[in-house]
Amino acid sequence: MTDTRMVPVALVVWAVATVGLAWGWQFSWLLGAIAVVTALVVAFRSLRWRPQAVLVIALGALATCWIATVIHASATHPLRLDADRGTVVKLRVEVSERPKPLRTQGFGSRQGGADRVLVPAGDVVVLAQATDWADLLPGQWLTVTGRAAPARGGDLTVAVVQARGSPTEVTPAPPWQQVASALRSGLRRASAVLPDEQAGLLPGLVVGDTANLSPRVSDEFRVAGMTHLLAVSGANLAIVAGAVLFAIRLLGLGPRIAGAGAGLAVIGFVILAGPEPSVLRAAVMGGLALLALVLGRERSLLPALAWSVVVLVPIDPSLGLNAGFALSVLATGALVLVAPRWAACLRGRGVPPGVAEAVAAPLAAHLVTAPVIAGLSGEVSVVAVIANLVAEPVVAPVTVVGVLATVATPISPWLGELLVRVASPEAWWLIHVARYTSSMPLATVRWPSGLLGAALLAAVMLAGWAVLRSRRLRVAAAVIVAGAVVVLMPARLTGSGWPPTGWAMVSCDVGQGDAHVVATSEPGRVVLIDTGPDLSSIVGCLHRLGVVSIPLVVLSHLHADHVGGLSSVLSDYPVGAVGVGPLHEPAWAWDQVRRLSAAAGVKVVDVVAGQRFALPGVTMTVIAPTAAPSHLGPNAEGTPVNDASLVLRADTAAGRILLTGDIELEGQANLLATNEDLSADVLKVPHHGSRYSLPRFLERVHPRVALVSVGAGNPFGHPSSLIIDALEREGATVLRTDEDGDVAVVASRDGPLIARRGSERVAR
């Protein structure tokens, strides 16, 4: 029998931390008191005060009281008052984790894909420019001056400090941190002998270093459900420790020496990856998984897992709402409680040993963690199980070889490079598995986010499990699934339903960003207006449309959500030229556009008002801006850049289309002051439907169809209900990419029609 006495204690400890972080320290005290009283009553009535029961109750009471005390201290920290007031503060802090790069949405900049970093430093998080901050290491003390702002909540961070300038009075990092940093840098240097995508991926696979990871690869791993491979997890540690354990036992040494060697390997790997909370958590979980899987003691895992929760959560109560912690616990439990049983079942059905384990492990881990992932992301990866099954055979080899390369590079660079080349085929395989599976039809399915979405998927999975246990229900479910596949998949696979015949323009569903494809009369040749916020969404849209070449890419302005996919467009399609407006700001984005275009051998051209582009079947006229704003400083951002967006009028077979970029009040007023004919059949609603649009501008355009390119659940409140209502009062049919997906404007004798991807509905 499995000892489950610690499980209720672990659940109570976790719940106290979660409730305290979500609702306040008062509730954590209340829940802890209720739990202690309940435990005392149960012990008195059922267990008759057994010493073990008393010990468990006392431990739970101490843990809950400590957690409530820590949450109370964080909630009443005096720095929170400064944060609420926006006070400029000067703090002496210790770096607790390596700086985390912040990529502007979908489009990187100067420092390894980011120009800003988040530096966790105990109770505060420092938001700073990457220059002089990106190379800090845990254990360094420094002085930071900046404006304090409220933290987002959900953890123990009391304030976010927006740093002014460089850190001062910086102390040296601990020696072991310096050694670990040198080893990680050595791996990056050795990986430079590989192609760019592999060079950025290998350090991420080995030690979780994603500084040079291609955003496109990152997006593809996310869609394929393989993101866990890019973070140090219990699996990494189990692989390393298992390899050391196997090597020592192969030498004929005893289990104690093998266990000690594996333990030292885990400690060394933790130092190499960085002793951050996520890595330390992975060490605990990986150690548990290793003990259970290698020693065959899966029955002891449940109490061990409960003990890990009881120990880790009081040490860091912010784990209560930490998604990574929840995923670690669930995945570890699945690997050693569920996977062995499934593997035994598969072996009993004739599946060879080894293959059964390889199938059961990723399947169990994915299914158990799927509700949490769905709640966090608002989508369910349909291909994750397949992708991880196919990727699984190379994960252990690439991890072991990568660690060997990391250790060997400082001693012998040529040996390090040789080992990196050995890991190249595995990295190539993982990239292409993610690329292929993420581009499959229905790779992801939209799902409600938050707690409701997680609970809903868990309920669906439980219902599915119940169905599979009944032979009759299995047959009925198989018929329903087969029918759904027959009805729904052909259009997805063959493209017979998309794109619609006679399409003139498609607004791509690229999330919170813009990407619009204007067709020419030559099949496969299009003009692309903006490229969206990331590298994978736009390529998927172009692929679905059967695009062959792009004579012109026009970037309405250089904000991240409009130019993020440029790199993948340039690498995947022949492009004639990249057109930009008169404003070349922000400077880092302009430099990036020129660099990417030059690398692809594509010319960057200035696009000015009055210019016309005549292509077969479509004519495009630039109507704004007439000149770049003169009052902007370097690295301009925000509204001034939005108002400098290129505005284009496209005359197509489906009618006139007005593409407005992100122009706001000033840009629209400038257009109204001209004699330009702004009327259009189709309006690309400015700035994702933000409230900063003039009613007179919408009246002047008077569109029949209004397209809003917007991301689901975006934090900006786009689109504004005021703008949607104003457009509908003008008689426009309003469509949104967050609700309708890719939206096509289709030519007809009666004017433009609208087709939504995946739907047979057509709207006037």
Question: Mean pLDDT, to the nearest integer, of 198-227?
Answer: 83
Task: State pLDDT tens for residues 492-533.
Answer: 444 446 889 889 999 999 988 999 999 999 999 999 999 998
Distance from first CA to last CA of the chain, Å, rounded?
A: 67
Residue 311: pLDDT band with limits 50, 70, 90: confident
Query: Which H or E element spans position 271?
Result: helix 255-273
Residue 478: pLDDT band with limits 50, 70, 90: low
CA–CA dist 107, 89 (Å, integer) = 31
Q: Is pLDDT at 109 greater than 50 in this prediction?
A: no
Q: What is the DSSP letter of 296?
A: -
Give the type of residue at 201.
Answer: L
SS3 (DSSP) at 77: coil
Of 716 and 45, the structure prediction assigns the larger pLDDT to 716
Secondary structure of 508-541 in the HEC alphabet?
Answer: CCCCCCCCEEEECCCCCEEEEECCCCCCCHHHHH
Give the type of residue at 472.
Answer: R
Q: Is pLDDT at 536 greater than 90 in this prediction?
A: no
CATH H superfamily, domain 503-629+637-759: Ribonuclease Z/Hydroxyacylglutathione hydrolase-like (3.60.15.10)
Q: Is pLDDT at 566 greater than 70 in this prediction?
A: yes
Question: Mean pLDDT, to the nearest integer, of 711-737?
Answer: 89
Residue with the two structure tokens 């720095």: 79
CA–CA dist 215, 212 (Å, integer) = 9
Query: Which H or E element spans position 272?
Result: helix 255-273
CA–CA dist 451, 668 (Å, integer) = 41
DSSP 694-756: -HHHHHHH--SEEEE---TT-TT-PSPHHHHHHHHHTTPEEEEHHHH-SEEEE--TTS-EEEE
Strand 100-102 with 612-615, pairing: unpaired
Q: What is the DSSP letter of 251?
A: T
Token pair, residue 237, equals: 């540690």
Of 50 and 397, the structure prediction assigns the larger pLDDT to 397
What is the average pLDDT value for the chain, to the nearest integer? 81
Percent with pLDDT over 70 in the chain? 84
* Rounded alpha-carbon distances, angstroms, from residue 398 to 85, 392, 394, 682, 737: 50, 11, 6, 51, 39
Answer yes or no: are the C-beta atoms of 706 and 686 closer than 8 Å. no
Query: Most distant CA pair in the chain: distance in Å?
Result: 90
Query: Which H or E element spans position 90?
Result: strand 88-94
Answer yes or no: are the C-beta atoms of 67 and 32 closer than 8 Å. yes
Question: Mean pLDDT, to the nearest integer, of 49-75?
Answer: 76
What pLDDT was estimated at residue 759? 39
CA–CA dist 360, 368 (Å, integer) = 12
Residue with the two structure tokens 């005290």: 29
Give the type of residue at 322.
Answer: N
- Domain boundaries 79-173, corresponding CATH code: 2.40.50.140
Query: Which H or E element spans position 476?
Result: helix 471-494
What pLDDT was estimated at residue 319? 83
Beta pairing partners, 119: 126
Beta strand ranges found along 194-288 (DSSP E): none
Q: Is pLDDT at 228 greater than 70 in this prediction?
A: yes
Of 251 and 288, the structure prediction assigns the larger pLDDT to 251
Give the type of residue at 626.
Answer: T
Helix 277-295 to helix 323-333 angle (10° resolution) is 0
